[in-house]
Chains A and B, each alone.
Chain A
């Protein structure tokens, strides 16, 4: 189904630009054109379709739903909603406070917030088209596990002690007034409203991510065309233990969203970088970023921020090691 994009790239590179696919430049350019056109096409179509379906989910409804759930299922639900609910990362503070003041435990809120950047419909879509369903499934399971286990851990160490005082008070108030969930009337959407929502979502998300795709695929093609074949495989291909923590550390200052990093993942894996190392690098790039953590300072004390950051780094390193170890058996 996707051959049309390969053909388009071949036509442009060979016939229009007159480059041979055997040259480095031609090869890199081919990779770039094929991937960007394919990704752009998929994004436009799939964001629209997915938005049609999930038009009625929003953070307010998720909060009302989570507010009266038992803790045990809360983490799993929190993480699942994190994966499917759209929200801009600039809203994480209001979302955090909204959940907290509804009395939802910090761990469940964090399950939601940790999973959210790691898994979203765009990421899943790109993974499916570039790396296949097995890898996609793996990625989703691992991403959700980080969110769920991270949330359980934070509640186990009673992380709410280290909230900023106004947030801690809001949590207390919310938990006392347990069933003050202000359930708004659930309005069902007409098809036309869904279409309007989906169209706006499509334009909005596309407007936000297209440059990430270009940067991501650009880096991917540079790797593809200019890093000598076999170099990565030779130097990092055995999943040397230190390569995983190094990849995680390298990912911290590099900040990207999932859309930008997935084309780079594709390229790295094709070049022979082990799956665990690649996963660790990418998750660290997407979920552990300084600017986001500085924002969280408004609602959390330094101690909690440090714990959270360390938690993510340890989790990504473990994931890397486990997957490198398991690869021969998959």
Chain B
């Protein structure tokens, strides 16, 4: 099972990002576990400054906006 972390200090876009990823995962029938990470210390640890950011397998794959559908599909299909 894929573990995806969404980093953000509770802004509207971060919540939206989680929803979008979960929705597309259901559509593609991929089993994922989406975690919301709001602790500033942890976010700093990933070196992220623009939220929402997406971390997959401890790698920062995206930051600063709600990711596009194509990007999410690509991550999920890997």
**Chain A interface residues toward B at CB < 8 A:** 58-60, 63, 87-88, 90-91, 93-95, 97-99, 101, 166, 170, 182, 200, 204, 295, 298-299
Q: State whether A59 and B49 are in contact (beta carbons under 8 Å apart), knowing that A90-B8, A90-B9, A90-B10 are contacts in the complex.
A: yes
> A87 to chain B: which residues have CB within 8 Å?
50
> A93 to chain B: which residues have CB within 8 Å?
9, 40, 43
Q: Is the interface of A mostly helix, strand, loop or mixed?
A: helix
C-beta contact mask, B47-65 vs A, less than 8 Å → 1, else 0?
Answer: 1111100000000000011
A91 & B40 in contact (Cβ 8 Å cutoff): no
Which residue of the partner chain, among A90, A166, A298, A299, contacts B51 with CB atoms under 8 Å?
Answer: A90
User: Complex: how many Å from CA A146 to CA B51?
Assistant: 27
Interface membership of B1, Cβ < 8 A = no
The smallest beta-carbon distance between B36 and chain A, in angstroms, is 14
B44 & A170 in contact (Cβ 8 Å cutoff): yes
Interface membership of B27, Cβ < 8 A = no
**Chain B interface residues toward A at CB < 8 A:** 7-14, 40-41, 43-44, 47-51, 64-65
User: Complex: how many Å from CA A98 to CA B47?
Assistant: 6
Q: State whether A98 and B49 are in contact (beta carbons under 8 Å apart), knowing that A93-B40, A299-B40 are contacts in the complex.
A: yes
B40 & A94 in contact (Cβ 8 Å cutoff): yes
Q: Is the interface of B mostly helix, strand, loop or mixed?
A: loop
> B7 to chain A: which residues have CB within 8 Å?
94
> A98 to chain B: which residues have CB within 8 Å?
44, 47-49
Q: State whether A90 and B13 are in contact (beta carbons under 8 Å apart), knowing that A58-B50, A59-B50, A63-B49 are contacts in the complex.
A: yes
> A295 to chain B: which residues have CB within 8 Å?
9
Q: State whether A90 and B44 are in contact (beta carbons under 8 Å apart), knowing that A58-B64, A59-B49 are contacts in the complex.
A: no
18 A-B pairs within 8 Å (CB atoms) are namely A59-B49, A59-B50, A87-B50, A90-B14, A91-B9, A91-B11, A91-B50, A93-B9, A94-B44, A94-B50, A95-B50, A97-B41, A97-B43, A97-B49, A98-B48, A166-B41, A166-B44, A170-B44
> B11 to chain A: which residues have CB within 8 Å?
88, 90-91
Q: State whether A97 and B44 are in contact (beta carbons under 8 Å apart), knowing that A59-B49, A60-B49, A91-B51 are contacts in the complex.
A: yes
B13 & A101 in contact (Cβ 8 Å cutoff): no
Q: State whether A101 and B44 are in contact (beta carbons under 8 Å apart), knowing that A88-B13, A94-B9 are contacts in the complex.
A: yes
* B68 and chain A: residue at smallest CB distance: A200
Q: Give the 4 A-B CB pairs with smallest separation, nearest first.
A: A90-B11, A98-B49, A97-B44, A59-B49
Extra contacts besides A94-B44, A97-B40, A298-B40 (8): CB < 8 Å:
A58-B50, A90-B10, A91-B11, A91-B49, A93-B43, A95-B50, A97-B41, A200-B65
Which residue of the partner chain, among B14, B47, B49, contacts A95 with CB atoms under 8 Å?
Answer: B49
User: Complex: how many Å from CA A93 to CA B50?
Assistant: 10
A94 & B13 in contact (Cβ 8 Å cutoff): no
> A59 to chain B: which residues have CB within 8 Å?
49-50
User: Complex: how many Å from CA A200 to CA B67?
Assistant: 12
